[in-house]
Chain A
Amino acid sequence: GAGVSQSPSNKVTEKGKDVELRCDPISGHTALYWYRQSLGQGLEFLIYFQGNSAPDKSGLPSDRFSAERTGGSVSTLTIQRTQQEDSAVYLCASSLGMFLQGNYGYTFGSGTRLTVV
């Protein structure tokens, strides 16, 4: 697609439920990233996929968080047993991956606003 697509755009869930957030990156982008942004805050890195390499999971806040990327394209971020502190906007981005010539940055999706009640 023309841009990074995230779904759903909004999700309200009850505390303790599991949620899945989806990200469709730009076709051909080998790198995919998940970030979390709480209200009025900066972006917190969660996880990073680069091609067939093992993902960098160093930003996942707890073992309730996991992510996978199937076929090097679509990614799903799963939060198990959601807590109120998980409420945030979850942003996905993709890029051409390991450092290439030219001036490129990351392309972000519009995010999923997760509210845990």
Chain B
Amino acid sequence: SQQGEEDPQALSIQEGENATMNCSYKTSINNLQWYRQNSGRGLVHLILIRSNEREKHSGRLRVTLDTSKKSSSLLITASRAADTASYFCATVGSSNTGKLIFGQGTTLQVKP
């Protein structure tokens, strides 16, 4: 079963603009992770944020976590055409079994 929803399902922007994707989840979590998928194959881990963290940065990526609202956002600044991909959030539950449950993803298109 899916953990939650991502919003929007699809996003199209111009190169240089910022892209914001949101993720909501249903149960208490240990951590939340964001992944990128190109061309429907393997996923690449981008960033992990723990339940006691509120914000995290990695290069052009900024992730926020609001556990009271059970939501997270991924911001990609100064987007590039190469950022075109599907982005998924995924959560590890607070029981910390390690099992990662994914959302449905946001498809991002960055136009050159």
Q: Does B101 contact A (CB under 8 A)?
A: yes
- Tell me the smallest distance from the CB of B100 to a CB of chain A, in Å: 6
A42-B2, A43-B88 known; A111+B41 contact, CB < 8 A: yes
Q: A33 at the A/B interface (Cβ < 8 Å)?
A: yes
Inter-chain residue pair count (beta carbon < 8 A):
67
Chain A residues with Cβ under 8 A from B47's Cβ?
A: 103
Q: How far is the CA of A41 from the CA of B2 in the complex (A)?
A: 11
Q: For the side of the interface on B, what is the size category? A: 20 to 34
> Whole-angstrom distance from the CB of A54 to the nearest CB of chain B?
12
Selected A-B contacts with CB under 8 Å, 18 pairs: A31-B98, A33-B100, A37-B40, A42-B88, A42-B102, A43-B43, A43-B102, A48-B97, A89-B40, A91-B42, A91-B43, A95-B98, A99-B30, A99-B98, A105-B33, A106-B45, A107-B45, A108-B35
Residues of A at under 8 Å CB distance from B?
4, 31, 33, 35, 37, 39, 41-45, 48, 50, 56, 89, 91, 93, 95, 97-99, 103-111
**3 closest A-B pairs by CB:** A105-B45, A42-B104, A43-B102
